[in-house]
Chain A
Amino acid sequence: MERAEDVKKHIKVYLWVFAGLVIGTIVTVAVSNLQAGVALGIFIAMVIATFKGSLVAGFFMHLRTEKKLIYFVLGITALLLLVLMFITFFTIGDQVGVQIVPESAGHSVH
């Protein structure tokens, strides 16, 4: 149970986190204008998004000081999410780099 004195100390931290999130958003948009290339662009955008997401989860959702049971639940979730992602990629694993042209060539596939 959080005490009022502890919560008062948190408020300053919340404002720093807010500043971090705003700066992160501005940097994300600025970097996207640099024409860094698709692969590098995706990498940088995801690194910044992960940083911002960690700030929200760690401080606003208090995950930094959470009980072990919550970490356990989230650990299992992360594992299942990875499995979900890999199952999807296994379906196209043998097609990477192969250009698939539909039978009705000439029609747009997107």
Chain B
Amino acid sequence: MEIPYTVDAHPETGLHNSKIGIWLFLASEVMLFGGLFSAYILLRTGSLPGVWPLGSDILSVPIGTFNTLVLIISSVTMVMSWASLKMNDFSKYKLYMGTTILLGSLFLVIKIFYEYIPKFSHHHFPSTDTFYAIYFTLTGLHGLHVLGGILVNLYFWGPGSKLWKTEPERFSNRIEVAGLYWHFVDLVWIFLFPTLYLL
């Protein structure tokens, strides 16, 4: 059975169904990260004066800033990959989507090899104290979201891109939806970075 309204807009909503689906999913993601942010605020305001460490004293601000820029650039290349499809330029789509995948991977490599591993080697684990517990939980969950986005984008860059030949409009809708997810992951980091690294 064919899934309805994957290309044309549903007459009731004016949207194709995948777009409604991804926004509902992102709404649930807002609640997930919102709950953790809420926990962070509660823990920080509930700690004794002078106990909560300043993020910039124990985390690397230059690395965090660089990773922020990496994610911002990846959001631009993601939206450009969708725009390329809309302009009927498949080779540019491949270039921009490939760049997005590489930038997402670079973000994770920096996170793991320049942040997590040095922290572990200095015996700083989630069990060390409340700051590290919330730091590893928030950044770890965000990192898993980046990994999920990379895998989806990798599929659309490789085998999934065959759909372009048979149903180009449906394929561009899929890239738009994948892009919405990727931009959301970027948006979460925009709030995570100052909260954890600078305040």
Q: Is B35 a contact of A84 with CB atoms below 8 Å?
A: yes
Contact partners of B13 in chain A: CB under 8 A: 67, 69
How far is B79's CA from A95's CA once the two chains are assembled, in angstroms?
46
Closest to B68 in A: A25
Within 8 Å of chain A (Cβ to Cβ): is B27?
A: yes
A2 touches B27 (CB 8 A): no
Q: How far is the CB of A101 from chain B (nearest CB, A)?
A: 8
The secondary structure that dominates the B interface is helix
Query: In this complex, what residue of A is CB-closest to B45?
Result: A92
For window 39-76 of chain A, which residues contact chain B by CB distance below 8 Å? 41-42, 45-46, 48-49, 52-53, 56-57, 60-61, 67, 69-70, 73-74, 76
Chain A residue with minimal CB distance to B87? A4
Residues B15 and A110 in contact, CB atoms below 8 Å apart: no
Task: Decide: A56 and B183 in contact? CB cutoff 8 A.
Answer: yes
Give the size category of B's interface with A: 35 or more
Residue contact A7 to B86, C-beta cutoff 8 Å: yes
Q: Interface code B87-106, partner A: CB below 8 Å = 1, 0 otherwise? A: 11000000000000000000
- Tell whether A104 is near chain B: CB-to-CB under 8 Å: no
A28 and B198 contact, CB distance less than 8 A: yes
Q: How large, as a class, is the contact surface on chain A?
A: 35 or more
For the complex, what is the distance from the CA of A69 to the CA of B12, rounded to whole Å? 10
A98 to chain B, nearest CB (A): 10
B191 (CB) vs chain A CBs: closest residue: A49
Q: A14-B79, A45-B199 are in contact. Are A73 and B23 (CB under 8 A)?
A: yes
The residues of B that contact A15 with a CB separation of less than 8 Å are 76
- Chain B residues lying within 8 Å of A89, measured Cβ to Cβ, are 42
* Contact status A4-B86, CB under 8 Å: yes
**What are the residues of chain B within 8 A of A52 when measuring CB–CB?**
190
Q: Of residues 73 to 110 in A, which have CB atoms within 8 Å of B's CB atoms?
A: 73-74, 76-77, 80-81, 84-85, 88-89, 91-92, 95-96, 99-101, 108-110
Interface-forming stretch among B48-56, B117-125, B138-146, B149-157? B48-56
Q: Roughly how many angstroms separate A46 CA and B31 CA in the complex, as a whole number?
A: 18
**Considering the complex, which residues of chain B in the window 30-78 have a beta carbon less than 8 Å from any beta carbon of chain A?**
30-31, 34-35, 38-39, 41-42, 45-49, 51-52, 56, 61, 65, 68-69, 72-73, 75-76, 78
22 cross-chain CB contacts under 8 A: A1-B169, A15-B76, A17-B76, A21-B75, A28-B193, A28-B198, A32-B199, A38-B199, A48-B194, A49-B193, A53-B191, A56-B183, A56-B190, A61-B179, A67-B14, A69-B15, A76-B27, A77-B27, A100-B48, A109-B47, A110-B47, A110-B130
With A73-B27, A85-B41 given, name 16 new contacts (CB 8 A): A7-B86, A10-B83, A14-B79, A14-B80, A25-B68, A29-B61, A56-B183, A69-B13, A73-B20, A74-B27, A84-B31, A84-B38, A100-B48, A109-B47, A109-B48, A110-B52
